[in-house]
């Protein structure tokens, strides 16, 4: 699981623009030197980066050493598989990976893959043996989780000991949860008969065995291409944090994340033993509409239309998903085992499935005197395969028009945690708030500068605007926030944004290497840097808010500047534009900042942020039950100092727009989701602060 999480973290970073090229690489396609699919992928990636990356890394011995270490760290992030002898065996490649890349060979990868496969199979025997023995929770010992500083195990005995401590910690954590749960039951019910700690420990061990079985299944579900994708991304990330390789499946997931939709049945799946279990039926999807498929159903066979169903016993989850997905209008038959043991055949007509949580949505925020609008935009989504489908720009336009009908006195645009997306949607959305003019500047590797402009004079909303950002607002979010800040069109509040000032393109590698080996996946690589219309780059520095609000992220090393391969900050000439007089920053900002800096709530938030950062430096876990409980209680005691933060309740009246109220009456799931969202908004002090700033603008 550690390996999968590390791979996902490194492989799916914050994303900005993706623009498919129309043949620019035909000019440098050469006779392929590849012997197989993996060779072809590496060769294609190398050619594109060397030819077209904004600032390609120098591929030399230093490059080789970094790839060598980082790939082995990614293969075994928690140092529970590879021995020091494995590192020593592979060290013959440490200085030659650069030569392999140029020659179209992957000898290092093949050898490393063979070794990790062997060690993973061996680990299953360690795990079974350790769990069969159980654990002594009275033994005083600790687990060090500072994996970056832990060296590979010297021998198998040391490796087994690491597994023992890891599995003991997993079981100890479950035992503690069971103890806490039992204490709650005793308080509520005086007749409740508690179990002994020994009995609870046996239950916890049983739960660990079940979880580890799921972990092993997930590990087994990873194919050669999954590991090779990991390897390719170690190579691509040496150039900058946003140059990534996507396997064919990864490309499909990327497209889904960018568009917020796919064609299938609308269900989330999870491996359950040799079969696959339904863990969610997505509201509004075809399976949800037809109503036969239920959470908990176990899929045993999958059939296409009238064809004979295929038994999926032991099949990889990725292959089962591929069987179930398909074009809109086609029929898939699922033979499922119900919770009650009955077997049923469920035909489902595939259709477009929209992931509603990825789309823009709005609310009304009222007090006794005024009504304000609130728009939440989780990402700048677009369907690159069908530009006529909904996008962030079309949805934001609709939400703005709905809010204008309600005669709102100002709008809060929430871009917190928005990692970016399509560049074209940013230009459109910025244009909704200005008459006409430049939005962002981009510079390519030849130092040619292009000013991207909103050409439409129509301004959809001309009222007061406050934009909320934080440390995870990146790329497209930063372009929009920076443009509205430079135009003096909005007041920006929150935390300093992420600092991603680079532009990426995407190309399918078959266009570079041909289709001899089938689908080679795609490469997303950095081609340009973008700059604010005032000439400054957001790269590394991000967007500095007009009014700073403390949050949990403020002391954590999670921004672009903390990435070792991040490109440098610089600036270019200023674009030609005229500022607005809507946001009266000179009068509002200093007074509001002073008020916030002396407000107990935000002083408390700042204190919590410091505690979170300090707590992350503690890498020791106690494996003796009493010490483990004492350590957790110490943290709980400190954490209780911040309980008041969770009790915040907005004094504003927050409600759905009329159109959404009508939808709530017709759709109970939609109603449930919106009601939960409104409840969360009421507990969010940042949104309340944004509305207070809007009220200050009205008072000027």
pLDDT digits (tens, 9 = 90+) for 481-506: 999 999 999 999 999 999 999 999 99
Cα diameter, the chain: 80
CA gap 386, 393 in Å, rounded: 14
Residue 1 has a pLDDT of 34
> What is the dihedral sign for C-alpha 440, 444, 450, 453?
negative
**Tokens linked to 502:** 């680079």
Q: Residue 166: which residues within 8 A CB-CB, separation 6 or more?
A: 78, 80, 143
CA gap 365, 674 in Å, rounded: 14
Q: Are 694 and 464 in contact (CB under 8 A)?
A: yes
pLDDT digits (tens, 9 = 90+) for 6-20: 333 333 332 333 333
Residue 276 has a pLDDT of 87
CA gap 72, 53 in Å, rounded: 26
Domain boundaries, the chain: 60-238, 261-354, 356-699
pLDDT at 24 over 70: no
Q: Residue 201: which residues within 8 A CB-CB, separation 6 or more?
A: 134, 135, 137, 171, 175
Q: Are 655 and 675 in contact (CB under 8 A)?
A: no
Q: Are 494 and 470 in contact (CB under 8 A)?
A: yes
**Exposed e or buried b per residue across 403-414, where buried means at least 16 C-beta atoms within 10 angstroms of its C-beta:** beeeebbbbbbb
CA gap 391, 383 in Å, rounded: 7
Residues facing residue 153 across a β-bridge = 83
**Exposed e or buried b per residue across 254-275, where buried means at least 16 C-beta atoms within 10 angstroms of its C-beta:** bbbbbbbbbbbbbbebebbeeb
Select the more confidently predicted residue: 295 or 94.
Answer: 94
Q: Residue 320: which residues within 8 A CB-CB, separation 6 or more?
A: 269, 276, 299, 302, 312
Q: Are 87 and 116 in contact (CB under 8 A)?
A: no
| Pairing state between β 267-272 and 275-281 | antiparallel
Q: Residue 13: which residues within 8 A CB-CB, separation 6 or more?
A: 241, 242, 244
Residue 516 has a pLDDT of 87
Half-sphere exposure for 490 (CA within 13 Å, toward CB):
27
Highest mean pLDDT out of 372-386, 461-475, 608-622: 461-475
Q: Are 206 and 132 in contact (CB under 8 A)?
A: no
Residue 53 has a pLDDT of 97
3-state SS assignment for residue 677: helix
Please identify which of the residues 486, 528, 608, 696 carries the catalytic annotation. 486
Find the mean pLDDT for residues 417-431. Answer: 94
Percent of the chain predicted with pLDDT > 70 = 94
Residue among 416, 386, 418, 376 at smallest CA distance from 259: 386
Select the more confidently predicted residue: 254 or 626.
Answer: 626
Residue among 463, 464, 482 at smallest CA distance from 473: 482
Residue 14 has a pLDDT of 29
Q: Are 551 and 605 in contact (CB under 8 A)?
A: yes
Find the mean pLDDT for residues 71-83. Answer: 95
CA gap 677, 675 in Å, rounded: 5
Residue 34 has a pLDDT of 56
Q: Are 623 and 168 in contact (CB under 8 A)?
A: yes
Report angle CA 607, 610, 612 to the nearest 5 degrees. Answer: 110
Of the candidate ranges 87-91, 219-223, 384-388, 410-414, the one whose mean pLDDT is the lowest: 384-388
Please identify which of the residues 229, 259, 475, 497 carries the catalytic annotation. 475
Please identify which of the residues 500, 529, 608, 696 carries the catalytic annotation. 500
CA gap 378, 390 in Å, rounded: 14
Is 486 designated active site?
yes
Select the more confidently predicted residue: 219 or 683.
Answer: 683
Select the more confidently predicted residue: 258 or 658.
Answer: 658
Provide Rg for the chain, Cα atoms.
Answer: 27
Q: Are 480 and 504 in contact (CB under 8 A)?
A: no
CA gap 143, 631 in Å, rounded: 13
CA 128 from chain centre, in angstroms, equals 33
Find the mean pLDDT for residues 113-117. Answer: 96
Residue 169 has a pLDDT of 93
CA gap 436, 365 in Å, rounded: 29
Select the more confidently predicted residue: 257 or 534.
Answer: 534
pLDDT at 26 over 50: no
pLDDT at 369 over 60: yes
Residues facing residue 453 across a β-bridge = 438
Residue among 251, 322, 247 at smallest CA distance from 520: 247
Residue 598 has a pLDDT of 95
Q: Are 488 and 579 in contact (CB under 8 A)?
A: yes
pLDDT digits (tens, 9 = 90+) for 237-275: 999 999 999 998 888 878 777 777 788 898 888 877 667
Is 475 designated active site?
yes
CA gap 414, 430 in Å, rounded: 14
Fold for the domain defined by 261-354: Pdz3 Domain (2.30.42)
Find the mean pLDDT for residues 457-475. Answer: 95
Is 651 designated active site?
no
CA gap 449, 571 in Å, rounded: 12
Residues facing residue 349 across a β-bridge = 331
The model's confidence at residue 291, banded by pLDDT at 50, 70 and 90, is confident
* Average pLDDT score over the chain: 89
CA 388 from chain centre, in angstroms, equals 26
pLDDT at 30 over 90: no
Fold for the domain defined by 356-699: 2-enoyl-CoA Hydratase; Chain A, domain 1 (3.90.226)
pLDDT at 445 over 70: yes
Residue 3 has a pLDDT of 36
The model's confidence at residue 220, banded by pLDDT at 50, 70 and 90, is confident
């Amino acid at each position: 699981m550690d390996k999968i999480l590390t791979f996902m973290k490194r492989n799916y970073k914050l994303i900005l623009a993706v623009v498919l090229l129309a043949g620019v690489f035909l000019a440098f396609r050469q006779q392929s030197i590849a012997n197989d699919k993996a060779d072809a992928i590496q060769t294609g990636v190398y050619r594109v980066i060397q030819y077209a990356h904004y600032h390609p890394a120098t591929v030399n011995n230093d490059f080789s050493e970094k790839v060598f270490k980082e790939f082995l760290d990614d293969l075994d992030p928690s140092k529970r598989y590879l021995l020091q002898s494995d590192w020593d065996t592979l060290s013959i490649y440490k200085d030659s990976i650069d030569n392999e890349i140029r020659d179209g060979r992957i000898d290092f990868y093949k050898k490393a893959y063979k070794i990790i496969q062997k060690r993973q199979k061996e680990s299953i025997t360690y795990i079974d043996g350790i769990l069969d023995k159980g654990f002594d929770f009275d033994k005083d010992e600790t687990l060090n989780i500072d994996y970056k500083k832990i060296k590979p195990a010297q021998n198998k005995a040391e490796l087994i000991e690491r597994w023992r401590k890891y599995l003991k910690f997993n079981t100890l954590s479950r035992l503690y949860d069971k103890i806490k749960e039992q204490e709650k039951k005793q308080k509520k019910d005086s007749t409740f008969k508690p179990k002994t700690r020994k009995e609870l420990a046996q239950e916890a061990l049983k739960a660990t065995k079940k979880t580890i079985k799921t972990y092993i299944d997930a590990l087994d579900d990873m194919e050669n291409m999954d590991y090779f994708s990991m390897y390719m991304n170690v190579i691509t990330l040496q150039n900058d944090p946003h140059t990534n390789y996507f396997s064919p499946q990864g490309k499909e997931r990327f497209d889904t994340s960018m568009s917020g939709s796919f064609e299938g049945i609308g269900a989330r799946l999870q491996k359950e033993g040799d079969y696959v279990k339904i863990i969610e039926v997505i509201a509004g999807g075809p399976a949800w509409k037809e109503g036969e498929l239920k959470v908990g159903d176990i899929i045993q066979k999958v059939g296409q239309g009238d064809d004979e169903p295929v038994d999926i016993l032991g099949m990889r989850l990725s292959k089962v998903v591929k069987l179930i997905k398909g074009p809109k209008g086609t029929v898939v038959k699922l033979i499922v085992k119900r919770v009650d043991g009955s077997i049923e055949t469920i035909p489902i007509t595939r259709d477009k499935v929209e992931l509603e949580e990825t789309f823009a949505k709005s609310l009304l925020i009222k007090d006794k005197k005024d009504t304000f609008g609130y728009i939440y935009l989780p990402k700048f989504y677009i369907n690159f395969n069908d530009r006529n489908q909904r996008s962030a720009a079309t949805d934001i336009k609709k939400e703005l028009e709905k809010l204008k009908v309600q005669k709102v006195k100002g709008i809060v645009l929430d871009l917190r945690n928005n990692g970016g997306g399509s560049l074209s949607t940013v230009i459109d959305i910025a244009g909704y708030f200005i008459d006409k003019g430049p939005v962002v500047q981009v510079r390519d590797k030849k130092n040619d500068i292009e000013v991207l402009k909103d050409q439409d004079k129509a301004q959809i909303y001309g009222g007061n605007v406050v934009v909320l950002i934080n440390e995870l607002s990146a790329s497209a979010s930063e372009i929009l926030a920076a443009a509205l800040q430079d135009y003096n069109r909005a007041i920006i509040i929150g935390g300093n944004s992420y600092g991603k000032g680079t532009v990426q393109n995407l190309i399918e590698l078959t266009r570079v290497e041909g289709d001899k080996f089938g689908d080679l996946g795609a490469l997303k690589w950095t081609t340009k840097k973008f700059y604010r219309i005032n000439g400054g780059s957001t790269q590394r520095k991000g967007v500095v808010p007009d009014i700073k609000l403390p949050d949990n992220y403020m002391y954590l090393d999670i921004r672009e500047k903390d990435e070792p391969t991040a490109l440098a900050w610089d600036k270019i000439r200023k674009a030609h534009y005229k500022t607005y007089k809507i946001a009266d920053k000179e009068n509002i900002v200093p007074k509001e900042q002073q008020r916030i800096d002396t407000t107990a709530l935000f002083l408390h938030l700042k204190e919590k942020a410091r505690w979170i950062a300090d707590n992350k430096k503690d890498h020791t876990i106690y494996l003796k039950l009493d010490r483990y409980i004492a350590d957790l209680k110490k943290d709980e005691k400190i954490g209780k100092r911040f309980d008041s933060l969770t009790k915040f309740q907005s004094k504003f009246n927050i409600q759905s727009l009329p159109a959404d109220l009508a939808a709530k009456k017709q759709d109970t799931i939609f109603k449930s989701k919106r009601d939960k969202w409104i409840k969360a908004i009421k507990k969010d002090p940042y949104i309340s602060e944004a509305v207070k700033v809007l009220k200050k603008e009205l008072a000027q």
